[in-house]
Structures are given as C-alpha cells and as structure tokens.
A and B are shown apart, each in its own frame.
Chain A
C-alpha cells in the first residue's frame, strides 16, 4: 500500500458567529495517499471547502478557527505550525486551486506576475529563471502563446485558460499534494473534460496527489480512485470509487447517486431525497441525515453514529444500519423521519 501523504485526524473547524458556534467541519478524518486522486463529494455547505482550507491553514480568521484535530503532512502536524513555516509549505508542498477561475486570479496583475511570484517565493530563482520556469509550466498545462500570455491580464483570458493558469500556478513548484476545490464547476462541459484530462495527466506525470472536491458524481467516477462523501460537516461514507458507486452503504450516498439523471438512459422518474440540506450546527443530536432518511429509526435521532468499517479496503460508513450488530436487528424495521 502507498504511503499516506496527508492524514487528517478528528479535524474540527468552527465558525464563531452571532448565532453561536457553527461546526462547519465536525470530527473529520481521512487521508490522501501519495499520487492518488481522492474525490470529496457532498452538497453545498457540507464543509468541503472548509476542510480544504483547514489543510492549507487558510480558514478565514475570524470568524473561523480550527478547534481540534490534527492534519499530518508527512507526519508533521500543520495545525500547530507557525504561520512562517506554513507559508513555506503553501504553494510548495501543498498547492490549491479554486472553483472560480475568474475571481481567483488577481485582476490587476498580469498572468506572468502572478505565476512568477509563486515561483520566486519558493525557489529563490532570479527573475529570468523564474520566467523561464513559468513558461515551461505554462506549456505543460497546455497554454498557447506563452510569451504573450505572461503580459496579459486575467480578463483577457477565457474561463478555461484561466483555470489552466491556476493549475500552472499550483503546479509550479511540483507540490506533493494539489487540493482542487470544485475546479470545473464554473466551466462548460467541453472545457471541464479538458481540464479533468489535464489534471489526470499531471497526476500521472508528476505523481502529484490530488484532492478533488466536487459535487458532480460523474467527475468522481471518471477520475478518482477513492472518494469521501460528506454531509453536514461530517464524513458519511468513504471508500474506493468502485465500492461506493457499485455498493453504496449510506442512504445519503445511495440517494445522491440515484438523483442524478443519466445521459445514457431515459429515467422515468428520478429518485429524490426529501427535505433540505441542513445548516451545519442546526442538528444537535443524532445522525444528521436522520431527518431526511427513510430508514431512520429511534436510535438515529438520539445517538450519533460512527464511521463503521464495511470491508478491509477502507470502505467505511456512518450509519447504524451497518454497525454489524444492528444491521441484522433492524433490517426492514423502518421508521419514517416525520
């Protein structure tokens, strides 16, 4: 088995607002192996971005704060690291790209400036060398007219090109881990497939581990090896892509997969999960999905399930239906959530 490059143990990140503490990420643990692509899926507001920002040490503070847990990068706990050390890791060992290529680039600086800046910070190369390096990496991510592009501003580029620039920026220092927070959501399908291809290619060529956050299950199925499903600040299921898609254990995962219309066949009627995504922190007790869950029974409303292992390949699920003991006992004994 490959080494775990990042291991997250019991991470808790909260926002302290007027309404009190909002636990956006609540006791999350998972890991990323060297060179793998890990998918993180979940509906909006479930804490995907906050998890990734926690890894980068970029949770907006105030009001946010990592209140517990460890984030180990090669065994080094990033949570405890002083800002100065953290800076040396950001963009160097762990890089990140964001959802909106339009707003993620500074509109007032040229592409070249923004690319070279990162290179200079971490490599101590001089201006000319940095520029060469920038051009090299731009070519690698498939950007045309590299020389001219360096002097252009973000608004002169199309969305796809901007996202390539973002990737170039992230890959400039050969990071071990790339965190991509919904890198293709804002793009058209044709462009999305180009970008995904590029990421896959970089992953293979440079052996960069990628943590790919998305809410599109298609994307996960297409390029990820393992996947983590989040719901309301918690991981509800984790496992290899095959396992999750073929044999989803958590009612939420299953519902999610079933809700997506498929282009290959015409579905008569879509499955839909009732109710709304809860705000983090709004459910104080029991399983957070219980309210929308068709299988929920009494225990679900009072007790918080843990991540129970399903098999030996790391497939885990947070559901009382799969505790082993309870599974047989309660099979078929459904209580509606109302």
Chain B
C-alpha cells in the first residue's frame, strides 16, 4: 500500500503546481462540486452508532477525530489534538487541542466537548454505540480500558487508562470517534444520526435515503485555505457496472466498487483515471478445524496446494490484488515476508491427501459470499474456480451461499466446514488481524475457523500489551509462522481496490481504511 500512495503523492505535487498555473489562466471554469458514486447508502451519520463502512465515507468529512491517520497510510498524526504526551506506564495520555476550532453550529470546540463525547459513548451500550467496544467495553465493564477522561483546561484533555492498550492511539484515530457538537447532541439526541454536526471540512446539507447525501464546504474550517471543494454529493448506485456507466456518462466524478473486469475498459478511456487504495485487507479460504476431515492439517495443506491463487487474482481481481500468503497485508508493520507460500501443485496436493488417508477424496460444502466485498469482488466465481480445482484432486465440493448477514451468522456459529470470507482492517494494526481473526478468544465472534492455539495466544497477548513497536513486530512475525504451518485458513489475496475518477481530479489520495477525507481534493 505504501508504494502506491507515495507514487500518488509525488504526482500530486506536480499536479498542484500545474493546477495553480491553470487556475491563473482560466480562473472561472474550475469544478467545485464532487459527485461520489458508491454502492450503498449510509445507515447513520452519527459514526459511533454504526459499523458500516458506507457511513464512515461520509462522516469522516463532517467529523474529525483527536488524532488522524496519515495521508494514504495508517500512522497516527495530529488531528483535533495538535500534540500529545504518553506517561511512561502508558496509562496517562495528555492531549493539547487545536485552537480556534468551531463546530458547524458555531459552538466552540474545546476540552469539555471531548470529555462530553467520550462520556456519552462510554455510558452507552453495544446496541447504541457498537464501536465503543474498541476500548474493551463500556463504563463499568471489567475490561474497560478508559478509566477517566478529564478536561485539564480549555485546550487540554487527559485520558487515564485502567491498563495499557498498545493500539490506543490508533483506536482514537478511527472514524467512529469523531467529535460531535455537545449542543447538537443535546438538541438532537438520537436524531444526531440524521443531523450530524462536527468540526470537519464539510457541513451536512441534506440526505435523501438510498439516493444522495449532500455536504457543503465549511467556510470556517480551521485549516487555512481548505477545503477546496464547495460541495460533495454522495450518490448511491448499487450496481457496479451501472455506477461505472454513470461515471462514463459524466453523471458522477468519482466512484468506488469497480468491477476488476472493467479495468481494461477504464484504462482505455481518455477521460478517466484509476486510483488505488492501499491494500488493508485479506480474503481467505477458511477451514473449520474442529470438523472432519479439516481437523487434519495435511488435508488443509493439500487444499492449499490445490488453489491457483495467481489465476484467480488474474481473472477475478482484474490484477488489482496480490496473492496472499499471510493473514495480514504486506504493507503492515510486522509482516513476515520470509514465509514461503504453498505453491499451486496438484500432485503435491494429491500426495498430501493420500498421506492423510483420503486417497479417494471426499465430499464437502464450500460456502461463499454472494455479494461483492472489497477483498472479494466475485466470491461466487472464485468459489467456482476452487470447486473445479478441488475436483481435480478428487474432492467434490458443493457451493453454498446465503445472504450476507446470515452468512456471517453461520460462520460465527461455526457451521460451515469450508468457507470464503475476508477482513478489512480497522486501524492498521496487526492485532486487528491476527488477534481479532485467529486468537482463541475470538472463537464465536471473528475466529470462524475455531482455531485455537495456546502458543499463538500467548504471543498475541504479549504483543497487545507491549508498547515497544519493534518487539511487537517480532512477535507478530513469529505468530505468522505458526499460522502458516497450522494453516487454519488459506490466505487468498490482498486487494488494492480501484477508485476511478475523472481525469481532472487531483490531490486525491485514497485511504486504506476505505473512508476518504476530501479536504485537499480538487479539480484541475
């Protein structure tokens, strides 16, 4: 992901200068309105109340968090807090806030506002504010990380923790933790979800459900000279191809959710350009390791050898992905590049099967998601390819699917024996992959493999509490080796999703989290 973003970064600088020249020559004609096409509507505009990615695409432009991620990356940078201090025991965090920031309703942003928001969240529950679980639960819960949030003075906030949390700062930068105007919260209560008031570069204007959300420029935005755009319209067009058609027709300016198969067509179109979002995801073929015959490591390895990741990526990711060998994306700190993947080798696969005592193969169900996901735009089709490959080593697979939500329910309940699914990182920390997806603690929630390794557990817990990044990285590399050997899943691919826009777009760097902030975005 880093490589892609830095490239875009350089070209961005050139573009900026060019664009300034252009501006001088033709000052009038510059487009100031962005129409962003996407596949689904927001479920809420109060980001803490939802876990849906579509919601954050809008809210990151309305709300700001104390800290934010770097452009095109997941390192933490100053946000509403311009600097911060961590105590040595990693239990006290002190933030100094930006001065002169105002909410869209004209009220001042200050330490009290931060305290107000955190108190609101920590006093909620999983139903009201699901995302607050990032901090180990709610006020009064045993695992709750935050002991207290205190306004030291007008512009200083102090967080006291119950126990150290390594990704604490990364968590704070997550989009759900945008700070809302306390006045608006009091005024709207639960209706804040339809009446968002933040400090961000854009103000909320209107929302036509399942159709458009319109934002306009915040003229009092604290970053001098920004935003560049006058307004943004988020437009819902569910079908990927229909959305692309709309883009070609000029009805929209920018879109995500591009069919990989359309890449060639887009490339040949003079008026369009492709941006890539750094990969922060993984698609995998999981085994329920508690079920026969997948409790046998040899069987799992055999299947790993039977999957032609290259062809799959070629055909159904339009090349916009790389075959995966680890559960976490390569751009992430702690990625173990030394691991050698199970190569595509049907003979070897057969051998392993024979060794495992399944010379004649067996029958199995292969579950696949029926709707496109970022990490797996054509899950059903990939499943079909895998099905064909398995057939060659004597395994008869029946493809099964379900609606997305019940599908996840089934996975969580450990029903399917072999399944395809994936994960999009929340905060750019390996913990968000390895612990969340494969630790024994996560069985019943996101550990769909029901894989349980005490060795791995110990490593991951240590990495969670150790504040030294290098030490953590080593621990994670170790973890990846264990996982590679035990192979509870076959990692399939890390996608670099495409974002397609008009040629005259500049200063746009897609963010790995999937939510883009359009502060600097502009048209030539």
A touches B (Cβ under 8 A) = no
